[in-house]
Chains A and B, each alone.
Chain A
Amino acid sequence: MADVLSPALQDRPAPDKVPDVHISIRNVEKVYRSQRGSVVALENVSLDVAKGEFVSILGPSGCGKSTLLKCIAGLEPLSGGEIFVGRQRVAEPPKDLGVVFQRDILFDWRTTLDNVLVTVEFLGLKRRDYEARARSLLATYGLAGYENRYPWELSGGQRQRVAICRAMVHDPQFLLMDEPFGALDALTRDELNLELQNRWFADRKTIIFITHGISEAVFLSDRVIVMGRNPGRIIADVKIDLPRPRGVAVRDTAAFTAYTGRLRAIMDDANAGITHAGVLS
């Protein structure tokens, strides 16, 4: 299996011909235009994610990870290419989706529990049916006893965990997570990685997970995508062949460290590429 992709993957079958493809990203371009000029955030990005697959995206800051996530979520219009979720071409946010944004964006006027349940309210579902689930999610994420606190009474990491619960409370088939564990200490992060992995292993949702943590990406994923910047593009697609379910001990195996080493090398090259480009221009 080649790690480095050919520049374009055209002539692939339509998603309805391949039953297990959940998300199909095809030759996506994204250009942000403003008075001060335009930024090419994504150039010719193509990626298929199978139903029930866990895919992580690694890449330097500013390479377009969040942009790609917003494009998949139907929040940003594409400048080129197309994205399918299931058989549906994404023009507006797809159904049955949960999103953890990079910023927690909690509502200051709602308590922790009400912040989690806002998803349910917006979806037009009954709060009553989801309150127990919301409470148990909060407990899983170490927030039992914080249900009636306001967001400004929480730490940055606690706020982020509330945002995760909010994205999961309606049990979506498809999750987009933008650095959900970014503001956590190493220990809590390990714990939540384990919890996320077990949960995913149990119900096999499709997850696209953005992170800066190489070891986290390897631990959680079936595949790790590496992006480069200027312009934002996919530079590597690494399949992680480690047995599931994975325990904390997997991190000490040779196979694991081989993956992290390889990914680190790819990312170093990507960063070096930036430097050269900067010198040349």
Chain B
Amino acid sequence: MSDKVRDRLSGLAWVLAIFVAIAVVWEAAVKFFGVPLFILPPIEDVITELFSSPALFLRNAAFTVATAMGGFAIAVIVGILLSVMIVSSRLLERIFMTLLAVIHSIPKVALAPLFVIWLGTGFEPKLAIAAMMAVLVVVVDTVAGMRSVDPEMLNLARVTHASPLAILLKIRFPAALPQIFAAMKAAISLSVVGAIVGEYVGGQSGLGYVIIVAQGSFDTPRAFAAVLLLSIIATALFYTVVWAESLFIPWHVSQRPRPAG
């Protein structure tokens, strides 16, 4: 247990150390090259900006987090359901894989304005874009995971006359969990991107909206404050998935105690 705690603490320490390092380089660059304020403000201005209107930042950050997490949840649930269908039927595989490849080849940013037309400027279009950004990676990885089950395990299931549902829930799904978590780590970052894209093109909430408005008035410190907050949020969400992974698949190779050195 102490090993795990130490692992996690040192993970957190690394994140903090890297944030600090970036801040130092940033500050040094601003001072050393004399960068104008509207291009790159010194970090203390950004932090001051953050604390000058905490309510605004909190409200919009909450909106972005809700969008990203909602889109992520939809992507994971829909992605796993699609994967189950794809794995269970050749025909469905053809249909869904082709469809997903086509959808994925369209840049989501290009679709974003259409979503505003279809779904308005509220929460829904942003949720849809966030989910769409993330769903393919979930499907691709989950299908790969469910397919790569040891055929001897399936022989074992056949010998004991396991039902298709039991094979799915007790073999394919747990066997695919490591890949599903790998996909979720990519998906959470993608759904944050999707949320921001959605906020750029319509509506009046979210950190994306804050950035667009700040850009309009050349308020670089405010834009930077939003970006800083966003990067903290994205990092926190990512590590939440990492933490969930260690909770759900303690049996996987990647989670076992590592030998020293």
Binding site for B on A (CB under 8 A): 70, 73-75, 92-93, 95, 97, 99, 101, 103, 105, 107-109, 118-119, 121-124, 150, 152
A13 to chain B, nearest CB (A): 29
Please pick, from A75, A107, A122, the residue contacting B174 in the complex, using a CB distance under 8 A: A107
A75-B163 contact in complex given A105-B152, A105-B153, A109-B249, C-beta closer than 8 Å: no
Q: Across the interface, do B153 and A107 meet the contact criterion of CB distance under 8 Å?
A: yes
Which residues in A have their C-beta under 8 angstroms from that of B160? 118-119, 122-123
> For residue B150, which residue of chain A has the nearest CB?
A105
- A101 to chain B minimum Cβ distance, whole angstroms, is 6
Contacts A75-B159, A105-B153, A107-B153 given; 16 further ones with Cβ under 8 A? Answer: A75-B155, A75-B158, A99-B156, A101-B152, A101-B156, A103-B152, A105-B152, A105-B156, A107-B174, A108-B251, A118-B160, A122-B160, A122-B170, A123-B160, A123-B161, A152-B251
Residues of A within 8 A of B163 (CB): 122, 124
Report if A150-B251 is in contact (Cβ < 8 Å); known contacts: A107-B174, A121-B166.
yes
B252 A93 Cβ-Cβ under 8 A:
no
Q: What are 27 A-B pairs at a CB distance below 8 A?
A: A70-B155, A73-B155, A73-B159, A74-B158, A74-B159, A75-B159, A93-B159, A95-B161, A97-B159, A101-B155, A105-B152, A107-B174, A109-B174, A109-B177, A109-B249, A118-B170, A119-B160, A122-B160, A122-B161, A122-B162, A122-B163, A122-B166, A122-B170, A124-B161, A124-B163, A150-B251, A152-B253
Tell me whether B157 is interfacial, beta carbon within 8 Å: yes
> A103 CA to B153 CA in the complex, in Å?
10
Tell me the total A-B contact number using a CB cutoff of 8 A: 54
Best-buried of B157, B159, B177 by chain A (most CB within 10 Å): B159
Report the minimum CB–CB distance from A146 to chain B (whole Å): 15
Report the separation of the CA atoms of residues A89 and B159 in the bound assembly, to the nearest whole angstrom. Answer: 15
- A58–chain B nearest beta-carbon distance, Å: 23
B147 within 8 A of A: no
B171 at the interface (CB under 8 A from A): yes
Q: Which residues of B contact A (CB under 8 A)?
A: 150, 152-153, 155-163, 166, 170-171, 174, 177, 249, 251-253, 256
| A99→B249 contact, CB < 8 A | no
User: In whole angstroms, what is the CA distance A101 to B153 when docked?
Assistant: 10
Q: With a CB–CB cut-off of 8 A, which chain B residues contact A122?
A: 157, 160-163, 166, 170
- A175 shortest CB reach to chain B, Å: 11
Cα(A108)–Cα(B150), bound, Å: 12
Q: Chain B residues near A74 (CB, 8 Å)?
A: 158-159
For residue B177, give the distance in angstroms from its CB to the closest CB of chain A: 7
| Shortest Cβ distance from A99 into B: residue | B159
Among A92, A109, A123, residue most surrounded by chain B Cβ atoms (within 10 Å): A109
Instruction: Pick the residue among A105, A121, A123, A152 that contacts B170 (CB under 8 A).
Output: A121
Q: Which residues of B contact A73 (CB under 8 A)?
A: 155, 159
The SS class assigned to the B binding surface is helix
- CB contacts (< 8 Å) of A121 on chain B: these are 166, 170
For the complex formed, measure the closest distance between the CB of A68 and the CB atoms of chain B, giving whole angstroms.
15
B99 to chain A, nearest CB (A): 31
Rounded to whole angstroms, the CA-CA distance of A108 and B255 in the bound complex is 12
Q: How far is the CA of A229 from the CA of B170 in the complex (A)?
A: 38
Give bound CA distance, A92 to B160, whole Å.
11
Q: What B residues does A99 contact at CB under 8 A?
A: 156, 159
**Please, which residues of chain A bring their CB within 8 A of the CB of B253?**
152
- C-alpha spacing A56/B48, complex, angstroms: 81
Once bound together, how far apart are the Cα atoms of A70 and B158, in whole Å? 11
A109 touching B162 by the CB < 8 A rule? no
Task: Give which listed residue, A92, A95, A107, A150, contacts B158 with CB less than 8 A.
Answer: A92
Chain B residue nearest in CB terms to A120: B160
Given contacts A109-B251, A122-B161, A123-B160, are A152 and B256 in contact (CB under 8 A)? yes
Docked Cα-Cα span, A276 to B183, in Å, equals 55
What separation, in Å, do the CA atoms of A121 and B174 have in the docked complex? 15
The 9 A-B pairs with the shortest beta carbon distances in the complex, nearest first, are A122-B160, A122-B162, A109-B174, A105-B152, A93-B159, A109-B251, A99-B159, A108-B251, A75-B155
Cross-chain contact B252 with A107 (CB below 8 angstroms): no
Determine the residue in chain B with the shortest Cβ distance to A108. Answer: B251
Taking the closest CB of chain A, its distance from the CB of B248, in whole angstroms, is 10
Tell me the complex Cα distance, A122–B249, Å.
Answer: 22
Closest residue on chain A to residue B158 by CB atoms = A93
**How many whole Å from A79's CB to the nearest CB in chain B?**
19
Interchain nearest-CB distance for A118 vs B (Å): 7
Q: How far is B252's CA from A15's CA once the two chains are assembled, in angstroms?
A: 48
Which B residues are CB-close (under 8 A) to A103? 152
> In the complex, A122 Cα to B156 Cα: how many Å?
10
Complex Cα–Cα for A75 and B160 (A): 11
Distance to closest chain A CB from B7 (angstroms): 18
